[in-house]
């Protein structure tokens, strides 16, 4: 094992090789992690990952770790940082994190942010050592396919509109800044979604964007409402959407959290959103 890691740009390898490195760095994670080159390509588009500024770490010719950097205007986002099994618990991840922060500063970014599962104590310590602090928690909710109905409201009361139409009202209907993956810039280029809304089409009271996933899972990619009563009415309509529903990274202070729980959504994971000023 060398004294220092050799850290290079992810642009030095193919997307297939970078995706393979990602899987190796997250092997044995809290849940199974897979990433194909096609999925990575989609993430580059949706999450604004900068492959040139993302990093790979080697010990000689042996892969030691990888880190992804997303960039939007003056903000950077760590889209994943992990070490291969042989290099975990040896303090080597700090070298990789330091290199990624250096890339962010070279781009004159003002802030760096990321999400980390709250049970990932080792990663949280790494990020705190780098100068990051917890800004808020983001919650992952799920509703099982066999969950009982809470409301008798018919889903037909939710009207359909294109995501592009509904996203015109993104800022008006968001009381909390969204997580990176649910930012407007990500949603505008995301495909495969369909939209449901309440109220007038040109001035909806609330809306949801849904995306079907293989295996019967439906992701609620976006929820938007400025008033709790509209959030409740929207979720009442979603009661009639069949199947297993999942929503990722709902801010803990969102008006939707209590409403989702009232409609048989259960918190399954919680992440810390961590931030540092560069």
User: DSSP secondary structure string, 158-190?
Assistant: SEEE-HHHHGGGTTTT-SSPPPGGGSHHHHTT-
Average pLDDT, the chain: 95
Residues 124 and 75 in one domain: yes
- 19-54 per-position pLDDT tens digit: 999 999 999 999 899 999 999 999 999 999 999 999
- 84-124 per-position pLDDT tens digit: 999 999 989 999 999 999 999 999 999 999 999 999 999 99
Residues 80 and 158 in one domain: no
Residues 59 and 157 in one domain: no
Residue 245 maps to a domain: yes
Residues 242 and 209 in one domain: yes
Which residue would you say has higher pLDDT here, 214 or 47?
47
- Residue 150: its pLDDT value, please? 77
Kind and range of the H or E run holding 244 = strand 244-251
Residues 53 and 145 in one domain: no
What is the separation of C-alpha 162 from the centre of its chain, rounded to a whole number of angstroms?
Answer: 22
Whole-angstrom distance, CA of residue 33 vs CA of residue 149: 32
Residues 193 and 88 in one domain: no
Find the distance separating the first CA and the last CA of the chain, reported in whole Å: 31
Residue 187 maps to a domain: yes
Residues 151 and 236 in one domain: yes
Kind and range of the H or E run holding 9 = strand 6-9
C-alpha distances out from residue 70 to 73, 77, 97, 107, 191, Å: 10, 5, 14, 11, 19
Output the domain CATH number for residue 206.
3.40.630.30
Q: Report yes or no: 256 and 141 within 8 Å, Cβ to Cβ.
A: no
Residue 1 maps to a domain: no
Residues 177 and 264 in one domain: yes
Residue 276 maps to a domain: no
Residues 113 and 155 in one domain: no
Among 131, 153, 187, which residue terminates a domain?
131
Residue 70 maps to a domain: yes
Provide the residue range defining the domain that includes 101. 6-131
- Token pair of 13, please? 């390898």
Strand order in the sheet with 111-117: 6-9, 55-59, 62-72, 75-83, 111-117, 266-277, 133-143, 244-251, 217-225, 203-212, 193-200, 159-161
Residues 62 and 145 in one domain: no
Residue 66 maps to a domain: yes
Q: Report yes or no: 86 and 28 within 8 Å, Cβ to Cβ.
A: no
Residue 95 maps to a domain: yes
Residues 166 and 259 in one domain: yes
Residue 65 maps to a domain: yes
Among 131, 152, 174, which residue terminates a domain?
131
Number of domains in the chain: 2
Residues 17 and 70 in one domain: yes
63 pLDDT above the threshold of 70: yes
Among 131, 163, 180, which residue terminates a domain?
131
In the structure, what pLDDT confidence band is assigned to residue 246 with cuts at 50, 70 and 90? Answer: very high
- 133-190 per-position pLDDT tens digit: 999 999 999 999 888 877 655 545 899 999 999 999 999 999 999 999 999 999 999 9
In the structure, what pLDDT confidence band is assigned to residue 214 with cuts at 50, 70 and 90? Answer: confident
């Amino acid at each position: 094992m060398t004294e220092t890691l050799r850290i290079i740009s992810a642009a030095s390898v193919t997307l297939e090789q970078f995706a393979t490195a990602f899987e190796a760095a997250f092997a044995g994670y809290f849940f199974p992690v897979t990433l194909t080159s096609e999925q990575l390509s989609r993430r580059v588009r949706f999450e604004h990952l900068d492959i040139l500024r993302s990093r790979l770490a080697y010990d000689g010719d042996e892969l030691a770790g990888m880190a992804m950097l997303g960039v939007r205007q003056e903000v950077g986002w760590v889209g994943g940082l992990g070490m291969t099994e042989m290099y975990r618990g040896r303090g080597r991840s700090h070298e990789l994190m330091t290199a990624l922060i250096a890339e962010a500063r070279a781009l004159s970014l003002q802030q760096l942010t990321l999400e980390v599962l709250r049970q990932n104590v080792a990663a949280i310590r790494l990020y705190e050592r780098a100068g990051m602090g917890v800004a808020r928690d983001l919650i992952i909710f799920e509703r099982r396919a066999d969950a009982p109905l809470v409301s008798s409201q018919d889903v037909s009361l939710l009207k359909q509109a294109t995501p592009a139409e509904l996203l015109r009202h993104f800022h008006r209907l968001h009381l909390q800044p969204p997580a990176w993956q649910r930012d407007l810039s990500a949603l505008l280029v995301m495909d495969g979604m369909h939209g449901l809304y309440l109220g007038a089409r040109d001035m909806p009271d609330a809306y949801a964007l849904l995306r079907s996933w293989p295996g019967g899972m439906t992701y609620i990619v976006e929820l938007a409402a400025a008033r709790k009563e509209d959030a409740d009415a929207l979720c009442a309509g979603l009661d009639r959407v069949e199947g297993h529903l999942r929503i990722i990274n709902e801010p803990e202070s969102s008006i939707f959290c209590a409403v989702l729980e009232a409609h048989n959504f259960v918190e399954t994971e919680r992440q810390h959103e961590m931030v540092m000023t560069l």
